[in-house]
Amino acid sequence: MNSWHKFPRAAFDLETTGRDPLTARIVTASIILVDGHGELLEHHEWLADPGVDIPPEATAVHGIASQTAQAYGSPASRVVSQIAGVLLGFFRDRIPVLAFNARYDFTVLAREGVRHGVGTPNPFPVLDPYVMDKHADRFRPGKRTLTAMCAHYGVPLENAHTSAADVLATLGVAAVLAERFPHLRKPASELHEFQMTWALRQAESFQEYLRRSNPEAVVEGRWPAIAS
């Protein structure tokens, strides 16, 4: 079987200054690489000084205040460059990078690259447990947050909304999905292409639902990143 979950794979997560991926700045980032058995091979962590104040509502989520980032964080341009370099190495080797709600993280990274004059890699292949779960178990009620999905699938999650914890949880949820849903057991490059279609259909379905009460509602369907 050439399924992605039997081979090395990475996971990537950002904590940022806000919810809008077009304007959010990176505060922390984590990337881990595991082998085909899930054993840790690499672990990368960053704390950035985003160059702007971190809003209190963002600090409430990830726990990093402006003073901490300014005192201990590396310059944002350096962090973006280092993240891009690590991810580029994986993508060149065709190692899939998992990201929960990948559209957010890869859009933030791309926009930060433009902001700081740093080239960022084309995200391929990417695997997104959020998109995969919505496709595989479409009619399950309840939230689809990482915390909710960890609870549903029995995956441990401590210190949620820290990038280090979230990458581990992302790998855990993805592994359960691959075991539970046979049609998700595909080569990473093939599954990436399927997810592009699934993400678009999911967005179209949600947009149709929203337009029952708001005819002007628009839901972004591009994946795994929003083109600048």
142 lies in some domain = yes
Digit-coded pLDDT (tens) for 41-81: 999 999 999 999 999 999 999 999 999 999 999 999 999 99
Q: Which domain range does residue 23 map to?
A: 4-210
216 lies in some domain = no
Number of domains in the chain: 1
Residues 6 or more apart whose Cβ sits within 8 Å of residue 124: 91, 189, 192
Digit-coded pLDDT (tens) for 91-123: 999 999 999 999 999 999 999 999 999 999 999
99 lies in some domain = yes
227 lies in some domain = no
221 lies in some domain = no
137 lies in some domain = yes
pLDDT score, position 211: 98
187 lies in some domain = yes
CATH number at residue 115: 3.30.420.10
Q: Report, as an integer, the average pLDDT of 163-177.
A: 97
pTM summary value: 0.96
215 lies in some domain = no
